A and B are shown apart, each in its own frame.
Chain A
Amino acid sequence: MDAARLIGRRFLQLALVLLLVSFFTFSLVRILPGDPMSTIIPFGTSAQRSALKHDLGLDKPFLQQYVNYVGVPGLQSKGTSGILQGDLGRKYSTRQPVTTFLKQSLPISIQLVLYAQILALVIAIPLGVLAAYRAGSRSDRAINTTSFAFLAIPNFVLALLLAYFVGARLKWFPTAGYEPGWLDPLFDPTRHFTFDHFRYMTLPVITLAVGQVAIYMRLLRSDMIATLQENFITMAKAKGISNRRILFRHALRPSSLTLLTVAGLNIGTLIGGAVVVEVIFGVPGMGEKIYQAIVAREYVELQSYVLVIAALFVTVNFIVDFLYIVLDPRIRRAGSSA
């Protein structure tokens, strides 16, 4: 199988998973026992309720509702718009479209996760290389033990620790609030970039990154140790190439493939972790919005956020698959051996 067909097949899988996820999140809201109308207008008359039900299209059959929700052209009911038309539904309470909230919160979470990912990799790669190069030594064991301990610190504990010591005691960084960064203006032109953005993001980003550092570092170490035993490394050594060049130019690339995959998969962990970190540090991203939607019982809003996050996550993994094919000549040439 060649690379193009491989990518094509992954793309089909991507579409299928997205379809199933949308059906799942859709069903969650619909199979709730009880009348959603009584949640929206608790004191409305039964006539008002049935009118509202008709307005929301909830009097239609289950599958028709799903088709309307996705917005399949030709099959959807007249006058409705769905996901494919960019309509993610409205809040029960204020009837504002969910997309307006998404535009404000999504770039914030993307930046947070991106910074955390970059910071984690920037710290983990040199540490992993060092640990592999000096495998079995005292510094290797020290790095290993420390990372094992860090793996056991929950996000929210680390967030509170940093908020207390670095924020409340030392007062180095703000522990609550947010200023727009470089991505926010693209989604919402009324917001402008300020350098304070980075000050507000520092503690949340460190919190998210620390757990990942331990994982990435251990992963790279183990792959790197295997690579360093390969013949081409011996060859490079025999040629008299410097250790640094061997480690970072010859050994790092073949050792980084699993790291790349896992970094992609870990986006999910990061997004999940971002929810609690955003709530603790008062960063108004997706996590904060999800939290508020749960408190206010805005199920349609919640459903849309879950769907958007799943879609993002699945798409990122699709891109990682693609990069994997580009980076690894063995897969590029021979197709998947799995």
Chain B
Amino acid sequence: MPAVPPDDSRVPGPGEGTEGSGSDLARFAEDSLTPGMAVGQSQLYLTAVMTDGKSRSRRLSLGAWLAIGWLGVIVALAVLAQLGLLPLKDPNQSFTSCARLGPFAKEGSASGHLLGCDSNGRDMMSRLIFGAWSSILVSTGAVALGFVVGGVLGMLAGYFGGKVDTVLTSVFNVFLSIPGVILALALVAFLQGAADNTGGQHGIDPKFILVLALGIVSIPLLGRITRASALTWSQREFVTAARAQGAKPLRIMLREVLPNVLPAMLSIALLGIAVAMVAEGTLSILGVGVKPPTPSWGNIIGSERSSLADSPHMIFEPALCIFFTVLSLNFLGDVVRARLDVRESSV
């Protein structure tokens, strides 16, 4: 057998070495041996753990630059389009002559529409760029909600332990025992129903309902990760030292524990944005995503799905956008995690 190189795809956790055997993953597996644990969490966690931790050098790899570049361009285009600074066609204006024509249509009537038109003759390029805004807004908003609420709850559970931990962990587990997509679907359906029943005339922005539903789904994911990390860091000497000096719990949590927990949360949050973006697409296909005619990458696919065989460009253009964005976010989450290891090994 060939010599096996040292395995660098494992993540040394903050408590590595103190607990003797096992990688972070093994501990995660033991931790997860409670009924109803982790749904998307396994997905999130695995993406985080299993990706190659080879890029430990200070210099960013070409892939990382490409990922940053793609995300930067997408965000810049989306923001500029919202501000009306781009020479784009109105995303809701129909050009009947080019309906369903792809970018390579021979007839020539699609000229002026670089990426073709959708089934209503609306400019695809314009819809994709305006759609990026909805997709980014919903996924980032949802993860921000999960980040703040899950972070606070996880920190409380991890720092105080005992009854607080038991109660919060059970709440997380109940939410995690419903598969993420199903929970999001149910929440959107119920919240939408609630919004309609309370008088939809002044109407809550449907995007807000999506952010709320996907945010609620991501709370237990980020909560559990924060809890696990806060738990190990809270047992370190410098925390005991701070406590011995009479620091209040709030101060210890913010000044001593949080800075150490934050990198892990950030790396998971980047992956979380990717997961939320896919979830928005999934919900759109099921008809409860961002409401047309406002475009989002997901709902372009959702509403053009029936024309797949005739005009595949209407599906595959937004699909490619989602793919590159998710790939970039996964990659960057990985880079952040690798950086985190560097910091830990140098402590």
Contact = CB atoms under 8 A, between A and B. Distances in A.
B35 interface: yes
Interface stretch (A45-53, A63-71, A195-203, A294-302): A294-302
A103 B327 CA distance: 39
Given A152-B323, A160-B315, A257-B29, A290 B185 contact: yes
Contact of B46 (A137, A218, A299): A218
A134 B3 CA distance: 9
Given A136-B5, A275-B286, A222 B178 contact: no
Contacts of A324: 33
Contact of B182 (A28, A219, A290): A290
Contact of B305 (A16, A133, A266, A280): A280
B285 A280 contact: yes
A265 B35 contact: no
B258 to A, nearest CB: 26
Contact of B43 (A28, A35, A269, A314): A269
A59 B286 CA distance: 33
A interface residue count range (under 10 / 10 to 19 / 20 to 34 / 35 or more): 35 or more
A310 B176 CA distance: 9
A164 B309 contact: yes
Interface stretch (A75-83, A85-93, A181-189, A225-233): A225-233
A108 interface: no
Given A163-B308, A228-B4, A229-B4, A276 B282 contact: yes
B193 interface: yes
Contacts of B282: 154-156, 275-276
B interface residue count range (under 10 / 10 to 19 / 20 to 34 / 35 or more): 35 or more
B179 A269 contact: yes
Nearest to B21: A337
Contacts of A262: 29, 42, 46
B109 to A, nearest CB: 24
Contacts of A257: 29
B262 to A, nearest CB: 25
Interface string B244-288: 000000000000000000000000000000100010011001111
Interface stretch (B47-55, B95-103, B151-159, B337-345): B47-55
Given A163-B308, A317-B37, A266 B42 contact: yes
B8 to A, nearest CB: 10
A313 B180 CA distance: 12
Contacts of B288: 294
B322 interface: yes
Contact of A215 (B23, B26, B43, B193): B43
A155 B281 CA distance: 10
Nearest to B178: A310
Nearest to B330: A152
B34 interface: yes
Contact of A273 (B30, B174, B181, B327): B181
Nearest to B287: A295
Interface stretch (A17-25, A94-102, A114-122): A17-25
Contacts of B145: none
A235 interface: no
Given A275-B181, A313-B177, A219 B50 contact: yes
A265 B40 CA distance: 9
B51 A275 contact: no
A148 interface: yes
A34 B323 contact: no
Interface in A144-162: 144, 148-149, 151-157, 160-161
A219 B278 CA distance: 23
A258 B27 CA distance: 10
A194 interface: no
B61 to A, nearest CB: 13
Contact of A276 (B42, B52, B285): B285
A44 interface: no
Given A32-B194, A152-B326, A271-B182, A10 B9 contact: no
Contacts of B10: 222, 226
Nearest to B308: A164
Contacts of A25: 186
Contact of A294 (B42, B170, B197, B287): B287
A310 B177 contact: yes
A144 B50 CA distance: 10
Interface string B306-347: 001100100110010011001100110000000000000000
A215 B181 CA distance: 18
B211 interface: no
A268 B308 CA distance: 29
Contact of B33 (A16, A29, A321): A321
A261 B33 contact: yes
30 contacts: A10-B33, A16-B170, A17-B36, A17-B173, A20-B170, A21-B36, A21-B177, A28-B190, A32-B197, A34-B194, A135-B7, A152-B274, A156-B285, A215-B50, A221-B9, A222-B49, A223-B25, A225-B4, A246-B1, A268-B39, A271-B179, A272-B180, A275-B282, A275-B286, A279-B285, A294-B185, A297-B189, A310-B178, A313-B177, A317-B37
Q: Closest 6 A-B residue pairs measured CB to CB?
A: A34-B197, A272-B181, A218-B50, A268-B39, A338-B30, A152-B327
Given A17-B35, A160-B301, A168-B309, 10 more contacts: A21-B177, A34-B196, A39-B193, A148-B52, A152-B330, A218-B9, A268-B42, A280-B285, A290-B185, A338-B31
Interface of A: 10, 13-14, 16-17, 20-21, 24-25, 28-29, 32-35, 39, 132-137, 144, 148-149, 151-157, 160-161, 163-164, 168, 215, 218-219, 221-223, 225-226, 228-229, 237, 243, 246, 257-258, 261-262, 265-266, 268-269, 271-273, 275-276, 279-280, 290-291, 294-295, 297, 299, 302-303, 306, 309-310, 313-314, 317-318, 321, 324, 336-338
